[in-house]
Amino acid sequence: MQRAHSPPCCSRQATVPGQTSKTTRVDIALFDGFALPEVAAIIEIFEKANALAVSQRSGSARYRVSLLSAAGGRIASSSSIFVWTQDVASHRGTNDTHLLFIAGGAGAQQACRDERLGNWLRRRHPFSEMVHPISEGKQLLEAAGLPSRSIPVLHRRNEAGGLYPVLLSEVPDAVPTALRIVEADLGFELARRVAQSVEPRHETPFDSSVTRSAAHRVSEKILASARWLDANVDRPISIDDAAQVAAMSERNFLRRFKREIGMTPSEYLLRARLNMSCRMLVESRLPVDKIARRCGIGSGGQLAKLFRKYLDTTPTDYRLREEASSGNLS
């Protein structure tokens, strides 16, 4: 699950809390091999906003979230967790406000070749107030010949409590964007409570994410490549692949990545894989060997060697220790 964020002090417009009669449709386009964590976080944000809005104002839910795919039915995420989706052909627009998120993930390249999904995006795009691709989701828009659509002017509170417009120089990530939308629609205080209620992920020894803690000093291209590495730990990855994400030669990419991130891309990828394996050991009951394969490490034996080298323990002992410390042992 995505780490909880504090909502930015801004909104699409100077909203008046309590004006919640209008329904906002949140459409999320998925495909086989989509990356689950950020999609799950977006769903959780809007569902928690609904629950808080209903409890505070005794009204109806503000948001209706729809998971969509080209053919509908069961769709597999990149972590082999399945979700049920509606067929885009049967999904009709309404007079409500529509917000469109497009998932990222390893399956995006294959999804770009699906004419059903591309044709639906072309039909839906003009009627969506916002079109927000997540990571590789940009590839689907590009394949359909469409631009993303963000909300360029937000409003930020000054010290006196008034509002003034702010132009964003870049599109924020999907989770902060979802929180911005909740704040604009339902007010800052409710958005703050939603952000606080999004349960953070299990902390691991490898969890000091460079893409969060060092984002202020890392260039956009290198940051994009680091996020791409984080999102693709389960796949065989070459340095050339990551360099292409950053639109750099391999030599220049290696030099820039080491200088800005503080480690080589290979070291960063290994750290990301160990981070994911630590989390899966605690958050799932999968056997060690299967976790190793899903994290791109190959085998349980190789994962055990890495745990002994970097954590001086075994994957099984790490799982037992973390369960015991959190009181999860039965």
Contact 71, 30 (CB under 8 A): no
Residue 189 lies in a domain: yes
Residue 193 sits in the same domain as residue 277 = no
The arrangement of strands across the sheet holding 153-157 comes to 10-11, 153-157, 163-167
CATH code, domain with 292? 1.10.10.60
Residue 33 sits in the same domain as residue 172 = yes
What range defines the domain where residue 263 resides? 210-325
Best-predicted range by mean pLDDT (148-162, 177-191, 253-267): 253-267
Residue 202 lies in a domain: no
| pLDDT score for 212 | 47
Residue 28 sits in the same domain as residue 143 = yes
| pLDDT score for 126 | 92
Residue 240 sits in the same domain as residue 111 = no
CATH code, domain with 75? 3.40.50.880
Contact 251, 294 (CB under 8 A): no
- At residue 18 the predicted structure's pLDDT band, cuts being 50, 70 and 90, is very low
Residue 1 lies in a domain: no
| pLDDT score for 163 | 42
Residue 97 lies in a domain: yes
| pLDDT score for 171 | 47
Rounded to a whole number of angstroms, the CA Rg of the chain reads 21
**pLDDT tens, 79-95?**
677 889 999 988 777 77
Residue 225 sits in the same domain as residue 257 = yes
C-alpha to C-alpha distance for 106 and 135, rounded to whole angstroms: 10
Residue 144 sits in the same domain as residue 26 = yes
3-class DSSP state of 36: helix
Nearest by Cα to 137 from 38, 8, 265: 38
Residue 227 lies in a domain: yes
Q: Who has greater pLDDT, 1 or 242?
A: 242
**pLDDT, average across residues 242-249:** 88
- At residue 217 the predicted structure's pLDDT band, cuts being 50, 70 and 90, is low
| Helix (H) / strand (E) containing 67 | strand 63-69
pLDDT at 21 over 70: no
- Total number of domains constituting the chain: 2
Residue 5 lies in a domain: no
pLDDT at 329 over 80: no
Residue 204 lies in a domain: no
